[in-house]
Chain A
Amino acid sequence: MITFDNVHKSFGPKKVLQGVNLKIAKGTSMVIIGGSGTGKSVLLKSVLGLVTPEQGTILVDGKDATMGDHDAFLARFGMLFQGGALFDSMPVWQNVAFRLLRGSLKRPKQEAREIAVEKLRRVGLTPDVADLFPSELSGGMQKRVGLARAIAAEPEIIFFDEPTTGLDPIMSGVINDLIREIVTEMGATAMTITHDMTSVRAIADNVAMLHGGVIQWTGPVAQMDASGDPYLTQFISGSADGPIEAVR
């Protein structure tokens, strides 16, 4: 269970989060939607302590995310970064198996490699990709390697920052199914950011829309279409007319 309570974050004069309140129940899949630049990535990073909110608290299973043993805390998480954030100094399989090659989850190299290859297969990449370097991959392939790395150590809580951006429709479908599978079969808690409404419907148990620094609307995905919220309705329909201003 992850709870955001009145979370505020600014960068200089720019107010990004202005009082975010949100609950994500254990073993459910929450999808965050919202316009570009509204602070979705910042919201995920604030849970992991990569950005520090000025105000408000974030609780994970009732405990403050910034307190206690940070290593043990982070060991429960996996994160796919929006830009992939692969380590370009090492080959793909070592990226995927990074956690399995050092620290508390360390295991023999051969075994770590096998797990990496298996995770790569699950994101639709063949074993020959394992020995390439990240710079030798296409954007969408890098994204999927990042995804494989996020799930490699089978974390309890997984954050996906735009997992299907830059993928073809078929591969998007594969990734959507994978995320759904991780939640339903492994019982993981997932928070996914996406701009793709097909993904939203495929992945989400619940949806939250971030707008103007606050959660504008949140509820089960089934209620999304009949929410009656003008912001959400405009966002789903992708219309230029509505309360959200499209600067032109």
Chain B
Amino acid sequence: MNALLAPFALIGRQTLALLSMVGRFAIFFAQTLSHMLRPPFYGREFLTAIFNIGWLSLPVVGMTAIFTGGALALQIYDGSSRFSVESVVPQIVAIGMVRELGPVLVGLMVAARVTSSIAAEIATMKVTEQIDALTTLSTDPLKYLVVPRFIAAILVVPVLVGIGDIIGIYGGFAVATEQLGFNPATYIRNTVDFLQFNDILSSLVKGAAFGGIAALMGCYFGMHSGRGAQGVGQATKGSVQAAAVLILAANFLLTSLFFAT
């Protein structure tokens, strides 16, 4: 009997654990928001975070976008009819990059690069009592460590997404014109005519949301790290997992808000 019930017990336990985790995320998020509104603000930490999250992520974002845009152009070319191909390829590359692939890929890259490093850094600080030391030096760790990274990510990841969109479209453009023999001027006109303000807005809003999720997960798991090197490892792994899943879920939610009407 027990063996029969075991899977249900497991599901039940995991569901409870998940629910309590969601609750703790929510509290952490609320605390972060409330600290954003009260001084002091740490400008230096904010600028460092902008640099780390934004500038240093540019190469990986650029690479991801250009290959994806190029591959997308090839796929669509292969799958569409010979007559409409000149307009279909640029349109689908633009829509695909701006609406979905740009934000999601940049979000996941930021989760891999930024979330993991935030989590590992803060978890190490926790394990080596640096977080305790901050508190005793009258500095709120949430204000000093979490708020600057959170705000920086919300501001900077949309910019990354914008850049990713452009580079992705350029990747498609390059493949189409160099390899498939498209007319460059027509390609550009088809892209520009087809994209709408709403597409671009959704891209940037997604970027802000994903950036916020990525930074917050890194901070949350770092601040709640267990003890020792193992604790740091667990925190890092957990943060990237949570950020990736939440980013994809948020993407679905935002897509349905923007487009499913």
Contacts and interface: CB of A to CB of B under 8 A. Distances in A.
Answer yes or no: do A and B interact: yes
Contacts of A235: none
Nearest to B48: A89
Given A102-B42, A103-B40, A85 B135 contact: no
B136 A50 contact: yes
Range of interface residues on B (Cβ < 8 Å): 10 to 19
A74 B133 contact: no
A85 B128 contact: yes
Nearest to B144: A102
A87 interface: yes
A245 interface: no
A87 B133 contact: yes
A103 B139 contact: yes
A45 B135 CA distance: 11
A149 B129 CA distance: 14
B81 to A, nearest CB: 57
B135 A50 contact: yes
B6 interface: no
A81 B132 contact: yes
Interface residues of A, number: 23
A74 B134 CA distance: 11
A88 B40 CA distance: 22
B132 A71 contact: no
A81 B129 contact: yes
Contacts of B132: 45, 50, 81, 85
Contact of A74 (B42, B128, B129, B138): B138
A71 B128 contact: no
A100 to B, nearest CB: 10
Nearest to A146: B133
B137 A99 contact: yes
A79 interface: yes
B226 to A, nearest CB: 12
A233 B132 CA distance: 34
Interface string A40-58: 0000010011100000000
Nearest to A77: B136
Contacts of B134: 87
Contacts of A88: 130
A65 to B, nearest CB: 13
Given A102-B40, A102-B42, A83 B128 contact: yes
Given A79-B133, A81-B133, A86-B133, 11 more contacts: A71-B138, A75-B138, A81-B129, A82-B129, A85-B129, A85-B130, A98-B139, A99-B137, A103-B40, A103-B139, A104-B138
13 contacts: A49-B135, A50-B132, A71-B138, A74-B137, A75-B138, A79-B133, A79-B136, A81-B129, A85-B128, A85-B130, A87-B130, A99-B138, A102-B42
